[in-house]
Amino acid sequence: MTTSHYSVEAYNLSQASENKIHDDSVAQKLGFTGGLVPGVEVFAYMTHPAVAKWGGQWLETGWMEASFRKPLYDGRTATVLGTDDDDTLALELESDGIRCATGRAVLKSPPPRPSLLEYPGHLPPKSRPPADATSLATDTWLGTKPALLSEQRLHDYLRDVRERHDIYARNGVAHPGQLLRLCNAILVENVVLAPWIHTASTLQNFSTARVGEMVSARARVVRNFEHNGHRSVELDAIVVADDRVVAQVLHTAIYELRHLQPKNG
């Protein structure tokens, strides 16, 4: 059993985003040290050991799950530990001695690729409703506007996540973190959210999204539930490049923090 170490300076890409959980002043009022580094970027850092071990094959057919347990902050060193265990990489991300995220990555024969017909395309509404148990009800279908995966967009993302593996730029393929950003966009483009937190994702790769392709995401709400006083939503999403399903993602987020819920009485 061997353990690899990959360290990166965390960067909060979303400081100016609509989600104010990434804004220092708002996050501090909610009890955090500062604005949270997005979970999609935490996931992105955690993919590095899998790509270092299995290369492009993992980007084509690999699987990974990650849960985000504690906040990661901008400018802090994040260290990803990847421990080989019977063809599985056990993953942990630590920062300042705190375990921020855990997960696993595997290279195996993928399940059948989902059909586009199983996931009907839905463009976001012109006027977004508030995020609640109605707009995010179980079996609701959601989608994003297609966007071009340009060379500049890829370059900027690789720079921002401090990715040191050259496979993405060399082959012109999207980073897994970019695929998960599309899953976040499913929420952002369809409902109006108060400060919210991405808590977990499970990714199954089927192919790679390539520079020059139009990328989008489609999802069905599979659960809308309460946990520890927070309201959460779970999406069964696919990421599409042109007319190809490149990934399937189970994506979970707290859309209503208990701190911000209206007080009764």
220: domain CATH number?
Answer: 3.10.129.10
Task: Please give the pLDDT value at position 62.
Answer: 97
- H-helix or E-strand containing 54? helix 39-54
217: in domain: yes
3-state helix, strand, coil in the chain (%, to 5): 25, 35, 40
pLDDT at 233 over 80: yes
pLDDT given at position 262 = 64
pLDDT above 90 for 1: no
User: pLDDT value at position 265?
Assistant: 41
Closest CA to 62 of 79, 77, 82: 82
Could you give the CA distance from residue 253 to residue 144 in angstroms, rounded to a whole number?
Answer: 17
Number of domains in the chain: 1
Q: Is residue 149 part of a domain?
A: yes
Q: Which domain holds residue 238?
A: 3-110+121-260
- Is 232 among the domain residues? yes
Q: What is the mean pLDDT of the chain?
A: 95
In a domain, 214, yes or no: yes
Distance (Å, whole) CA 140 – CA 134: 9
pLDDT greater than 80 at residue 263: no
pLDDT one-digit tens code per residue, 160-219:
999 999 999 999 999 999 999 999 999 999 999 999 999 999 999 999 999 999 999 999
Which of 260 and 38 is assigned the larger pLDDT? 38
Residue 116 lies in a domain: no
Decide if pLDDT at 88 tops 50: yes
Whether the per-residue pLDDT at 111 is higher than 60: the answer is yes
| Residues above pLDDT 70, as percent of the chain | 98
What pLDDT digit, counting tens, does each position of 28-59 carry?
999 999 999 999 999 999 999 999 999 999 99
- The reply to whether 115 falls in a domain is no
Residue 265 lies in a domain: no
Identify whether 226 is part of a domain. Answer: yes
